[in-house]
């Protein structure tokens, strides 16, 4: 158990992640995802495998009712269209009024100027976290990735940054953790990052400290991916295997496998 | 073989289901699905694994031509949007004129008032069947689920009700069957119920008695899920395994595994 | 190695396909897909398994920026809607100006007159290739499939025709190759043909001779499908297994397995 008497540090993340996963399974939080079409099915399955309950509607006359019953919200910009933009704005407003967490996944923000502008406009609504890769970070922050730019970005937008890559980095409120889990095959499965963001959403729903929640979600995905990757014959069996591994993941395996600094 | 001389009862369902599945494989009926984005791929694969032919367009200027060539129609309300609503109305009209069967899957009707209203408006177009869970039933019927409310609902809308849950219940025209197949992992795969509704659509296409058709589809899905669940390591392998199990399901296994009262 | 001194013939296709696949893996071409909702996830996974990089947006205010960074474009007409039509026209224009290859997959063109008209209008923008089945060919060309109608169609539209079926036929510029690979289970997985077209797009991105590119893509898919089919228990495991098989496919296996005339 973590002690409430001292701040959580990076060494605590494996224990904290096991605790967060247990709470996801016990509470079955509802996570509403406004995400791209390619990622919807896999993200829903990722949430179900973790013990959470997904919803996915983007219809503007329904989304507010759905979000009112959700415990966390993910806004992902892949295959972005007019309907999703409207839904995102409505949903974020509603979460803000309810004081519930939401996170932003600015997919491919580096590929289109319009996406960058839209992502920046959403940042002003204070997502609890932003999950992205280094190319997307550069496009969004306007600076090369280094410790200073990461700190500046997190400070400016008052958000936790979950930066995924060969080593994942989670930065927030002066705390930093590096996670060396995962498997090369994960990059050969479409929407793996998007589904990971949905999983982070489930963690935000049950854990108030967003740095702990983001680090937990990324570590859980990384360990599940590593276990699946060791058994997989290729990206097809990795995609199904990671759902199996996530479903059966336990605290002992998390502790044993976590590569956290 | 079933005898035409006496009415089909619940004990006949395993034999009837084997017969219906054989007809699906022999006739390869076309099932048009106006269904949610999350469920489209899995539903199409479910239909193909059963021997049916899926089509999925929701474009309003095409849907009537597609439906004219279809043998059954599924209208599923998940991720419902304006385009799907228009397509649903056009498609249902066309099926009614052709005297062909359609069924309604009012997904998440309990989560949004607009969905409830839309689902009720569709019920007036007499679906051959409605497949839903108990929460959705309560939202749609306005009463708690019990034998009387089930009978009232079926009577009022002149439809067969396929109620899925731990035990599935199929009620129609005074006949009732309870099906105890399935596997807990099925609830951990997104769109399992939606894909099951597509399968029921294939059964309606080849079987005139809608109570037999709905019970057959639900039993076939339950047995396939049970076989897959026994071999699965988790929800990922369940999702692929249920398609394999459905593809190779035979009459002997159906008869042996069916838990029907 | 192929010699640059003589024209490539059908016997060269297995060697050429191995070479094309190696270039896809080495260069990781970007393939933008304007494709149907059912096929998006599987097509993206097919491209990733082959070593290419997918993008999928259909938003009209983004697609030109995405296509500017793409090496090939696929336009697939399944679940076609107004937004996709606009995006397709914008994307094709942009590819033409850049002199980059695009291909057309006129899915279900036989089912709707509007699709036929739209497909014909796209043909005037000179796709490098058209991938379709015999029913779609008949609807699009207005004639029964035979050698003469195939030659006439290719000539008229100055395009390579990749005709898939029990035996695949690739015709272009007077050259013909018949490919006898593949597995019956492939027809039981939704979007298999659509994903195959995405793979052909990756081949067009790295191989200037479109006849060689199309034949390579179709052969690679057929051999991967055959390998997966031999190991699969049904269509579910075929769908994951074909991604694994494609990921690990090597030149020796391609040469050994290819059934090319």
Domain CATH number, residue A21: 3.40.1190.20
CA–CA gap between residue A206 and residue B193 (Å, rounded): 27
Q: How far is C156 from chain A (nearest CA, A)?
A: 35
Record: contact B55-C114, CB cut-off 8 A = no
More confident residue, C130 or A83: C130
| Chain B residues closer than 8 Å to A55 by CB | 108, 111
pLDDT in tens, A179-234: 999 999 999 999 999 999 999 999 999 999 999 999 999 999 999 999 999 999 99
pLDDT in tens, B199-208: 999 999 999 9
| Interface residues from chain A to B (CB-CB < 8 Å) | 37, 40-41, 44-45, 48-49, 54-59, 61-62, 65-66, 69, 83, 239-248
pLDDT reported for residue B4: 63
On whether residue B220 sits in a domain, the answer given is: yes
More confident residue, C17 or C82: C17
Q: How far is B212 from chain A (nearest CA, A)?
A: 31
pLDDT in tens, A149-186: 999 999 999 999 999 999 999 999 899 999 999 999 99
Indicate the range of A66-70, A75-79, B174-178, C104-108 predicted with least confidence.
Answer: A75-79
| Chain A residues closer than 8 Å to C58 by CB | 79, 81
DSSP A111: T
Phi-psi region of C108 (alpha: psi -120 to 50; beta: other; left: phi over 0): left
On whether residue A198 sits in a domain, the answer given is: yes
- Residue of A41, A58, A78, A111 to mutate when probing chain C, most C C-beta within 10 A: A111
On whether residue A2 sits in a domain, the answer given is: no
- Assess contact for A191 and C44: CB atoms under 8 A: yes
Judged against a pLDDT cut of 90, whether residue A113 lies above it is answered with no
Judged against a pLDDT cut of 90, whether residue A68 lies above it is answered with yes
Q: How far is B211 from chain A (nearest CA, A)?
A: 31
| Chain B residues closer than 8 Å to A44 by CB | 38, 190-191
pLDDT reported for residue B3: 63
pLDDT in tens, B95-123: 999 999 999 999 988 888 888 999 999 99
CA–CA gap between residue C131 and residue B124 (Å, rounded): 43
pLDDT in tens, B68-91: 999 999 999 986 778 889 999 999
Angle between helices A37-50 and A235-248 (to 10 degrees): 30
- Residue of B40, B198, B234 to mutate when probing chain C, most C C-beta within 10 A: B40
pLDDT reported for residue A156: 95
Judged against a pLDDT cut of 80, whether residue C4 lies above it is answered with no
* Straight-line distance from the first to the last Cα atom of chain C, in angstroms, rounded to the nearest whole number: 19
On whether residue B150 sits in a domain, the answer given is: yes
Judged against a pLDDT cut of 90, whether residue B143 lies above it is answered with yes
Q: How far is A8 from chain B (nearest CA, A)?
A: 32
Q: Residue A41: closest CA among chain C residues belongs to which residue?
A: C41
Record: contact A188-C69, CB cut-off 8 A = no
Nearest to A235 among C45, C56, C61 (CB): C45
pLDDT reported for residue C61: 86
| Chain A residues closer than 8 Å to B237 by CB | 240-241, 244
Average pLDDT, whole number, for chain C? 95
DSSP letters for chain C: ---TTS---GGGHHHHHHHHHHHHHHH--EEEEE--HHHHHHHHHHHHHHT-EEE----TTTHHHHHHT-SEEEEE-TT--HHHHHHHHHHHHHHHHHT--EEEE-TTTTT-HHHHHHHHHHHTT--SEEEE-HHHHHHHHSS--SHHHHHHHHHHHT-EEEE-SSSEEEEETTEEEEE----GGGGGSTTHHHHHHHHHHHHHHH-S-HHHHHHHHHHHHHHHHHHHHHH-SSHHHHHHHHHHHHHH--HHHHHHH--B-
pLDDT in tens, C72-123: 999 999 867 788 899 999 999 999 999 999 999 999 888 888 889 999 999 9
ipTM of the complex as predicted: 0.94
Nearest to C114 among B55, B62, B248 (CB): B62
Share of chain A above pLDDT 90, in %: 87
Q: Residue B116: closest CA among chain A residues belongs to which residue?
A: A62
Share of chain C above pLDDT 90, in %: 87
| Chain A residues closer than 8 Å to C246 by CB | 234
On whether residue A4 sits in a domain, the answer given is: no
Indicate the range of A216-230, A246-260, B77-91, C51-65 predicted with least confidence.
Answer: B77-91
Average pLDDT over residues C164-186: 96
pLDDT reported for residue B2: 59
Cβ-proximal residues to C173 (8 Å cutoff; 6+ apart), any chain: C154, C160, C211
| Chain B residues closer than 8 Å to C112 by CB | 57, 62, 65-66
Nearest to C42 among B41, B57, B59 (CB): B41
| Interface residues from chain C to B (CB-CB < 8 Å) | 36-39, 41-42, 78-82, 108, 111-115, 187-191, 232-237, 239-240
Q: How far is C12 from chain B (nearest CA, A)?
A: 35
Full domain range(s) for residue C106: 10-257
On whether residue A3 sits in a domain, the answer given is: no
pLDDT interval class at B59 (50, 70, 90):
confident
On whether residue C5 sits in a domain, the answer given is: no
Judged against a pLDDT cut of 60, whether residue B1 lies above it is answered with no
- Residue of A184, A190, A238 to mutate when probing chain C, most C C-beta within 10 A: A190
Judged against a pLDDT cut of 80, whether residue C36 lies above it is answered with yes
pLDDT in tens, A11-30: 999 999 999 999 999 999 99
pTM of the model: 0.96
Nearest to B44 among C82, C190, C237 (CB): C190
Distance from CA of residue B59 to its chain's centroid?
23
Nearest to B79 among A57, A61, A243 (CB): A57
Number of domains in chain A: 1
| Chain A residues closer than 8 Å to C94 by CB | none
Cβ-proximal residues to B32 (8 Å cutoff; 6+ apart), any chain: B54, B55, B56, B57, B63, B66, B67, B70, B72, B73, B74, B91
Q: How far is A41 from chain B (nearest CA, A)?
A: 5
Record: contact A236-C243, CB cut-off 8 A = yes
Nearest to B190 among A44, A241, A242 (CB): A44
Record: contact A42-C45, CB cut-off 8 A = no
CA–CA gap between residue B165 and residue C176 (Å, rounded): 55
Q: What angle do CA B71, B73, B74 make, to 5 degrees?
A: 145
Record: contact A240-C240, CB cut-off 8 A = yes
On whether residue B66 sits in a domain, the answer given is: yes
Q: How many Cβ atoms are within 10 Å of B28's Cβ, its own excluded?
A: 17
pLDDT in tens, B5-14: 778 899 999 9
pLDDT reported for residue C78: 82
pLDDT reported for residue B73: 98
Q: How far is B191 from chain A (nearest CA, A)?
A: 8
Judged against a pLDDT cut of 60, whether residue B133 lies above it is answered with yes
Judged against a pLDDT cut of 70, whether residue C153 lies above it is answered with yes
């Amino acid at each position: 158990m973590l002690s409430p008497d001292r701040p959580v540090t990076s060494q605590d993340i494996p224990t904290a992640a096991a605790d967060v996963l247990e709470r996801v399974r016990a509470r079955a939080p509802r996570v509403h995802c406004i995400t791209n079409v390619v990622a919807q099915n896999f993200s829903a399955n990722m949430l179900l495998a973790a013990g959470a309950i997904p919803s996915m509607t983007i219809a503007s006359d329904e989304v507010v009712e759905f979000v009112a019953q959700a415990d966390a919200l993910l806004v992902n910009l892949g295959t972005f269209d007019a309907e999703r933009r409207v839904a995102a704005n409505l949903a974020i407003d509603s979460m803000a009024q309810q004081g519930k967490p939401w996170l932003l996944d600015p997919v491919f923000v580096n590929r289109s100027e319009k996406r960058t502008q839209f992502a920046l406009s959403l940042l002003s609504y204070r997502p609890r976290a932003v999950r992205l890769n280094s190319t997307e970070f550069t496009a969004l922050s306007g600076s090369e990735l280094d410790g200073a730019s990461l700190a500046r970005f997190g400070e400016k937008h008052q958000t936790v940054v979950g930066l995924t890559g060969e080593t994942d980095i989670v930065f927030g409120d002066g705390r930093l953790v590096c996670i060396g889990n995962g498997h090369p095959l994960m990059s050969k499965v479409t929407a793996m990052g998007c589904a990971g963001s949905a999983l982070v959403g489930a963690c935000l729903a049950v854990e108030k400290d967003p740095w702990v929640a983001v680090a937990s979600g990324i570590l859980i995905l990384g360990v599940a991916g590593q276990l699946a990757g060791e058994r997989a014959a290729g990206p097809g069996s990795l995609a199904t295997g990671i759902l199996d591994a996530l479903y059966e993941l336990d605290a002992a395996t998390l502790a044993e496998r976590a590569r956290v600094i």
